[in-house]
């Protein structure tokens, strides 16, 4: 077992980047019909699911770098087609954790007027409040704690399943 770990940690392996970049289709999210359920991958950890007429954004990072310094960890190779300014109003923002490649200050600040509700792990809401988000929009949950995403208020309970009942 130790030999396997040693090999894993110490053996130099060359990166094998794809010979061709991933195909990219810029989707105008604001013009998607709300009645159409879609799932759009925005790169790395960022997703835009539109379900049951609700616009959901998960771990948005629209900055050029997913790091505190601009010389490391370019967020997306090539030209990134989405910007916070071009996002539609967001019914539910989900932040999975507070690493730079999942929680981006510039993106959150630009999205502030468009966000109706936020669900995030316990403790991450402090970042959002510090950055200017209204604390009434934020629902924080601890490990093993269930959350039913409702867009009207944190105390509103959904009538159906988890995602179809957003709102």
Q: How far apart are the first and last CA of the chain?
A: 50
Whether 2 is in a domain gets the answer: no
Structure tokens at 59: 């771990």
Whether 1 is in a domain gets the answer: no
Structure tokens at 14: 């060359």
- DSSP codes joined into one string, 62-104: -SSBSSSSTTS-BSSSS-----GGG---BSEEE----STTT--
3-state secondary structure of 139: strand
Q: Check whether 163 has a pLDDT greater than 90.
A: no
Q: What is the rounded distance in angstroms from the CA atom of residue 16 to the CA atom of residue 13?
A: 9
What are the tens digits of pLDDT across the range 64-114? 766 666 666 665 666 667 888 889 999 999 999 887 778 888 899 999 999
Whether 155 is in a domain gets the answer: yes
Whether 6 is in a domain gets the answer: no
Q: What is the rounded distance in angstroms from the CA atom of residue 112 to the CA atom of residue 137?
A: 10
Residue with tokens 């867009």: 151
What is the predicted pLDDT for the residue at 117? Answer: 95
Whether 22 is in a domain gets the answer: no
Going by pLDDT thresholds of 50, 70 and 90, the confidence category of residue 2 is: confident
Strand extents, DSSP E, the chain:
38-43, 46-51, 54-58, 92-94, 118-121, 138-141
Query: Which region holds residue 76: left if phi is over 0, alpha if psi is between -120 and 50, else beta?
Result: beta
Whether 5 is in a domain gets the answer: no
Whether 108 is in a domain gets the answer: yes
Whether 45 is in a domain gets the answer: yes
Q: Which domain holds residue 80?
A: 27-167
Mode of pairing for the β-strands spanning 38-43 and 92-94:
unpaired
Mode of pairing for the β-strands spanning 92-94 and 118-121:
parallel
What is the predicted pLDDT for the residue at 167? Answer: 34
What are the tens digits of pLDDT across the range 77-87? 666 678 888 89
Total domains in the fold of the chain: 1
């Amino acid at each position: 077992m130790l030999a396997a770990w040693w090999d894993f940690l110490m053996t130099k392996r060359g990166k094998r980047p794809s010979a061709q970049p991933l195909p990219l289709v810029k989707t105008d999210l604001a013009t998607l019909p709300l009645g159409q359920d879609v799932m759009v991958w925005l790169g790395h950890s960022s997703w835009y699911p539109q379900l049951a007429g609700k616009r959901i954004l998960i771990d948005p990072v629209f900055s050029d770098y997913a790091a505190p310094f601009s010389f490391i960890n370019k967020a997306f190779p090539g030209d990134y087609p989405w910007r916070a300014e071009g996002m539609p109003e967001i019914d539910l923002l989900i932040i999975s954790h507070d690493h730079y490649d999942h929680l981006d200050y510039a993106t959150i600040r630009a999205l502030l007027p468009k966000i109706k509700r936020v669900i995030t792990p316990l403790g991450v809401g402090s970042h959002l409040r510090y950055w200017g988000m209204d604390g009434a929009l934020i629902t924080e949950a601890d490990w093993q704690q269930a959350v039913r995403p409702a867009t009207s208020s944190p105390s509103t309970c959904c009538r159906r399943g988890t995602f179809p009942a957003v709102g």
